[in-house]
Amino acid sequence: MIEAAAALAAAHFAAPLAYYLYARRWLRRPWGVEPREGHTPTITIIIPTYNEAPLIEAKLDDIARQDYPPDKLQIIVVDSASTDGTPEKAERWARQRQAPLEVLREPQRNGKAHALNLALKHARGDIVVITDADSHWPDPQTLRKAARWLADPSVGAVTCLKRPAGGGGVEAAYRDYYNVLRLAESKKWATPIFHGELAAFRKELLEKIGGFPTHLGADDSHTAVLIAAFGYRAIAPEDLHCVELVPRQYWRWRIRRAQHLIQNFAASLRLKTPSRFRPVLYAEAYLHLVNPWLLPAALATALAAGPPGWALAALGLALLAHKPYRTWIAMQMYLMIAALRNLWTKE
């Protein structure tokens, strides 16, 4: 019994470690794509908003700081019946700045992806960039850099690497592990995890996949997976960074995110994908859908094994004093709670 408990625990920790070490070798590969300096396609930036009045002006200021030819840029705010005056604030911002900004209004709230699909109908750019209101691009060259990568016809989608703003140590430690994986997967072929802070897609591919998926939460990640399934690269290059404001209700937000990722992987496993993408997709699906559950299985087996098993369980608990371990365990808890919560709400 104690052996079984130890084996379950070892398997739980070995899988992500092995994947991490294995994926790190992909970092040394060449990209195999040719980014082109000075490539400036027409871009439509879409900011979906629901009750973002406190943030919308700063977000628009942030975009206005981008160094990109203005005649090649279209900016759309698509709002879904905010009750805090978000669209009016956006319009006022545009008037004061005399900036061209299109504000679209949905009469009722049907979710982010639904709103994105409305905006997509108005998009004139060859590239569509989605960015959440609660995010920020520290580098004024961000759009140019994203465009550079999209100069290569094999690249269908580009996202950023993420840095938390004022999120504290736990969030930051997790991000180190996380960003290495995103980058390595991108070099291998594609990463199945995209970020709402900056998700750039070729518009023709968005049209080909039938717009943003509205049946699940992870619209950005799942869109990237669908594009990769079509044989295009979906990448997070090393020179694109964005910042996300970490909300106050930290762990409710974490669980919602985990729910979205689980929905993404469950749907992605049903797709036919290029063989180069499969190792990444299957590894990530395993880590998100299955691996967390080895922990409670190990704990239950240990507790049933009598005193030696209790000692093992006590060791597992004592290690919580160690921060990276605690961070990891917290993430596993979020994934398990999220899987259960997905049974009754997909939100």
Look up tokens 């937000």; give the residue.
253
Query: Out of 109, 144, 163, 341, which residue is the one contacting ligand GDD (CB under 6 A)?
Result: 109
| 220 touches ligand GDD by CB under 6 A | yes
Max CA distance (Å), the chain: 73
81 phi and psi angles, rounded to 5 deg: 55, 45
DSSP 125: S
Phi, psi of 40 (to 5 degrees): -125, 80
Tokens of 335: 């994934």
Nearest approach in angstroms of CB 307 to ligand GDD is 44
The residue sitting closest to ligand GDD, measured at its beta carbon, is 196
Which of 8, 78, 127, 198 binds ligand GDD (CB under 6 A)? It is 78
Residue 48 in contact with residue 78, Cβ under 8 Å?
yes
DSSP string for residues in 132-166: -TTEE---TTHHHHHHHHHTSTTEEEEE-EEEEES
Question: Residue 213 touches which of Mn ion, ligand GDD, none (CB < 5 to 8 A by kind)?
Answer: none
Of residues 134 and 171, the one with the C-beta less far from Mn ion: 134
Nearer to ligand GDD, 66 or 223 (CB): 223
Interface with ligand GDD (CB under 6 A), residue from 23, 115, 225, 240 = 115
C-beta of 13 vs 177, nearer to ligand GDD: 177
Amino acid making up residue 4: A
* Distance of closest approach, residue 207 Cβ to ligand GDD, in angstroms: 20
Give the rounded distance of the alpha carbon of 19 from its chain centre.
Answer: 19
Nearest approach, Cβ of residue 104 and ligand GDD (Å): 9
Q: Could you say which residues in the range 274-333 bind ligand GDD, by CB under 6 A?
A: none
User: Which residue among 12, 19, 23, 50 contacts ligand GDD (CB under 6 A)?
Assistant: 50
Residue whose Cβ sits closest to Mn ion:
134
Beta strand spans in 2-72 (E): 43-49
Site for ligand GDD in 152-211 (CB under 6 A): 195-196
**Interface residue with Mn ion, options 79, 134, 171, 220 (CB under 5 A):** 134
- The token duo for 346 is 């997909």
Residue 49 binding: pick among Mn ion, ligand GDD, none (C-beta 5-8 Å cut-off by kind): ligand GDD
Q: What angle do CA 112, 204, 41 make, to 5 degrees?
A: 95
Which alpha helices (DSSP H) does the chain contain, by range?
2-24, 53-64, 86-97, 112-122, 142-150, 168-188, 203-208, 219-229, 250-268, 278-285, 294-303, 307-318, 323-341
d(CA 43, CA 117): 16
List contacts with ligand GDD (CB under 6 A). Answer: 48-50, 52, 78-80, 109, 111-112, 115, 132-134, 195-196, 218-221, 253, 256-257, 260
List contacts with Mn ion (CB under 5 A). Answer: 134
